[in-house]
Amino acid sequence: MYSFMDKKILNNWLLRASFQDDKTGNMDDLYKEIILDHYHHPRNVGKLEGGHIVHVHLANAGCGDVFDVTYQVENGKIANIAWQGEGCAISTASMSLVSEWLKGKTLEEANGLDQKTILSLLGLDEIAPVREKCAFLPLQLW
């Protein structure tokens, strides 16, 4: 069984390996900082309670990412969103960034969430194919 620290070390190693670039060796440090910040300090973590709450379970069996997302819609807009669970650095950062992006969006705008939007939020033009399921896990919301 892996300890919490073993998982953190493994996630940080996988994160670095995901962004290897044949031309430069690594992705830009700014983008690493964005992803690591949202991994270590994710936004909107929790669970919403009360009436008119939508619950969605997200899972990526390949990496072991599992998130439960709750959100509240008022007047056709996502008024509040919260999530909890466990995932790798990429999926956690993606879920954190997407949760911030979704707040205040209409359902129509939220349905426009796509791979390009998520990559933009992560500060990337592309991601290694092995990490796509992690980065795009929030697409399961719709």
Pairwise CA distance, residues 69 & 141, whole Å: 8
Instruction: For 37, list phi and psi in degrees, rounded to 5.
Output: -60, -45
96 Cβ neighbours under 8 A, 6+ residues apart: 38, 39, 42, 43, 44, 45
The residue type of 92 is: T
Distance of CA 97 to the CA centre of its chain: 6
Catalytic residue among 134, 135, 137, 141: 134
Do strands 77-86 and 53-60 pair parallel, antiparallel, or not at all (unpaired)? unpaired
Q: 88 catalytic, yes or no? A: no
Backbone angles phi, psi at 57, to 5 degrees: -100, 125
Catalytic site residue from 27, 63, 95, 137: 63
Say which DSSP state 48 is in: -
* Whether residue 63 lies in the annotated active site: yes
- The residues annotated with a catalytic role in the active site are 63, 134
